[in-house]
Structure 1
Amino acid sequence: MTTRKFFNWKIFIFFLAFLLASCAVLKKERTFSKNGLKVTFRSLNALDDIQGIKFRYPIILTEQQLNNHLLSLWYQNIVSPGKPKPAFSKEDVRTLVPLFKTVLKKVEPGKYLHFEFQSSGGLIEGQVFVTAEKIHWRFLKINNKLYSNDPLRLKKPTWKLVRMPGQAYQKEQTGGFKKYYNNRIIANIDLPYPKQRSQTRPTGKKHSQSSSESAGLQKKLGILQNLLDEGLIDKSEYEKKKEAVLNKHLNIDE
């Protein structure tokens, strides 16, 4: 009788654990969107090839670091390649830097940041996470085009990222063979400003509401900077108010 009760308890505990795991999977992911940028905090279990990687939390990067990284992300068409092009325009980067800085700090242990950005050229989709001294950028789509670089050409190749100084492709060693992922960049956190950005990319008209919201954000940040420059607030208060403005802009609860 005692053995049977013990067995029943084991079944109960098993189903309880299964139920809790199911609830965790079904739990809605936290998603925020503003100015064409949509971010989702997703579980690391959704990523592949992360065995042995030590992730860094919290993810605290300066605006200068993010600016240099975003400006250093370039791509090139595989068929009829032509000249490499920047993934983000300078205008895009000015919008994205403060937003990325804020949301990256919100990434909790066990999570990574999935993002979608509606640029003037089309939808850009990717993933980003940080390790000890590296930042990992994985792009799934650039300007509405999914990444494809099938060596057998069963699928039409589309584009690949172009490495800049301080960047490398993610590689996988299988036996005596190395596989490179040309849509995944691993870069030094302290990346220099890219010389290539002396070029400019034509930008189309953006949605009027998005432009208005972006202008409003820049105005508020400019006012805070002026208050700091004039000594009306100290650096600590400036950072606190700046974070509050960005959180409100992204509808992120403290």
Structure 2
Amino acid sequence: MPARRQAPVTSHIWASGGRHLWPSGEASALQSHERGHLVYAASGVLAVHTERGTSIVPANRIAWTPARFAHHHRAHGDTDMRIVFLAPSLARLVPAHPTVFLATDLAREVLLALTGPRNSDYDQSARSRLSRVLVGELREAQEQPLQLPEPHDDRLQALAQLLYENPGDNTSLAEHGRHIGASARTLSRLFHDELGMTFYEWRTQLRIYHALVLLAEGRDATQTAFACGWANPSHFIAAFTAIIGTTPGRYRTN
């Protein structure tokens, strides 16, 4: 992924969480917390990077990072990032690994209430009740992984770097293999064994990640489709909708 850089953001922090207003392209330093936390992008697109890979958090997802997981965040488009820390008793009810949940309407409203300007109106008892409602909604929602796992094998890293730099590259796996010195069969096995997906599934995830960034920067669906390697915008719209749950056009207007 592109090199990170640390820059100031406008922050409002409370004991239970906070709000960070990020200019596009800004990123946090590598960090970890004693409590697990949920993050949500009220606007913009947020990327959460951990050792497990990169989770993409558009406006209809909520990301969970457990306690003591090293991570950093990056904003794509001007991003209104909300964060809620969970008490250990609630953190035990959600997965012990970083993941992404679909944001139901109720979960979104509760999270915004916990991190909005009226946050100070709630006493500890009210915050605890709202947090329980939020976790209950997440437990009912299926995990919606929108994650780009990071490869560790040197050959996969070399291939990944090529596509990080040019997500629209339509070079076949066999051609990539000739460039980096590995057969298509070997690379296919490595993708399956190390990342749990095929090369084409991984490349599609990367392209959707890049598409979210471009849409957040104001590109339209046709421009985004071509930049991400789709020759036919309708094929891009179908792939985007299958993964994100809404069309690019509707996503841009949310």
Q: TM-score range by the shorter chain?
A: under 0.3
Instruction: Look at both structures and tell me which one has the larger radius of gyration over its CA atoms.
Output: 1
Structure with more helix by fraction: 2
Using the size of structure 1 for normalisation, the TM-score is 0.28
- Greater relative contact order, per chain length (Cα 8 Å cut-off, separation 6+): 1
Using the size of structure 2 for normalisation, the TM-score is 0.28
Structure with more strand by fraction: 1
